[in-house]
Amino acid sequence: MALANQTPPRTRNRLLAALPPEDLCRLWPQFEPVELGFRRILQEPEKPITAVYFPESGWASMLAYLEDGDAAEVGLIGRDGMVGLPVLLGGDSDDLEAMVQAPGTALRMDAAAFREALDSIPAFRTLLLRYALVHLGLVARTAACNGRHQLDQRLARWLLMAHDRTEGDEFPMTHELMAMMLGVRRAGVTVAAGQLSKAGLIRYRHGRIEVTDRPGLENATCECYGVVRRASDALLGREDGTTAVYRR
């Protein structure tokens, strides 16, 4: 049967879903569905990357570790992206760690098969290179935001990013984890989260965060969230087909 006549596979990963159906059909046999358990390491610093991952639910944090063992998040990858960008860009390792922070599922592809697919399917390479630009923009914005904006704005930005990659309005999160994600002390996150909670934007209980006022949370953040979100929407479009409501 010709590939053009095959029924395209259904995937919840937005990058893969953006491919032409015939290209997705060619790629599909190379994918292995896997569970993304909490705190699972998908990529270790300075270790060979043996597989890439296309999340379909949940998300992973890209973490930069310092000599004292502290870590700060420099990127967040959900079903709008992929884990394993160094392979796309010609490398075989990275100094960042990819750790699952919200459990879910993903499609896993062996790194060697991934490299072959990049060579044989031009649309696949082009789409992923464009995604790499969007992701690098997120990393740059994260650095600028962490250096210049107030903690409550930064926390609101991070919660919006997590909410974008979550099914529903609630997801697991502790103050310790938020502090690590933002590279600050837990006490600072506790104060900032308290401000957002008092304003009725979020609800925190038993290690879980619920976004209770999405538009309000968007108004509480800085311009950095909107800049990155617009870049992602330009690549993949809005999931609901509506006009964006995020500020700036």
* pLDDT, one tens digit for every residue, the chain (248 residues): 345 456 778 999 999 999 999 999 999 999 999 999 999 999 999 999 999 999 999 999 999 988 888 888 888 999 999 999 999 999 999 999 999 999 999 999 999 999 999 999 999 999 999 999 999 999 999 888 888 899 999 999 999 999 998 888 988 888 887 887 787 888 888 898 999 999 999 998 888 899 999 999 999 999 999 999 999 999 988 765 433 333 33
Query: Does 45 share its domain with 124?
Result: yes
Q: Do residues 46 and 88 both lie within one domain?
A: yes
* Within a domain: 63: yes
- Structure-token match 């599922």, residue found: 105
What domain range is 229 assigned to?
149-236
Beta bridge partners of 171: 209
Looking at 115, 143, 171, the residue that finishes a domain is: 143
User: Is 241 within the bounds of a domain?
Assistant: no
Helix (H) or strand (E) holding 38: none
Last residue of a domain, one of 116, 143, 170: 143
CATH of the domain at 190: 1.10.10.10
CA atoms of 42 and 117, how far apart (whole Å): 20
Considering the domain boundaries, does residue 98 fall inside one?
yes
CA 100 – CA 219 distance, rounded (Å): 28
Q: Are residues 156 and 76 in the same domain?
A: no
| CATH number of the domain encompassing residue 131 | 2.60.120.10
User: Would 104 be classed as within a structural domain?
Assistant: yes
101 and 199 inside one domain:
no
**Cα separation of 182 and 189, whole Å?**
9
Overall domain count for the chain: 2
Question: Tokens at residue 183, please?
Answer: 């590279």
Q: Which residues contact 167 (CB under 8 A, 6 or more apart)?
A: 57
Structure tokens belonging to residue 136: 């690098």
Residues near 231 by beta carbon (within 8 Å), at least 6 away in sequence: 133, 134, 137, 138
User: CA 206, CA 236: separation in Å to the nearest integer?
Assistant: 34
The predicted model scores a pTM of: 0.89
Q: Give a yes or no: residue 225 inside a domain.
A: yes
Same domain, 133 and 60: yes
Please tell me whether residues 104 and 213 are part of one structural domain. Answer: no
User: Do 28 and 81 sit in the same domain of this protein?
Assistant: yes
Strands of 51-55's sheet, edge to edge? 32-36, 104-110, 51-55
Q: Domain end: 128, 143, 158, which one?
A: 143
Asked if residue 189 and residue 84 are part of one domain, the reply reads no
Q: In what order do the strands lie in the sheet with 97-102?
A: 41-43, 97-102, 59-65, 71-77
Burial class (CB in 10 A: 0-12, 13-18, 19+), 216: middle
- DSSP-derived secondary structure letter, 30: G
Please indicate, yes or no, whether residues 109 and 205 belong to a single structural domain of this protein: no
Please tell me the distance from the alpha carbon of residue 6 to that of residue 110, in angstroms, as a whole number.
24
134 and 168 belong to one structural domain: no
Q: Do residue 53 and residue 111 come from a single domain?
A: yes
29 and 115 inside one domain: yes
pLDDT score, position 184: 80
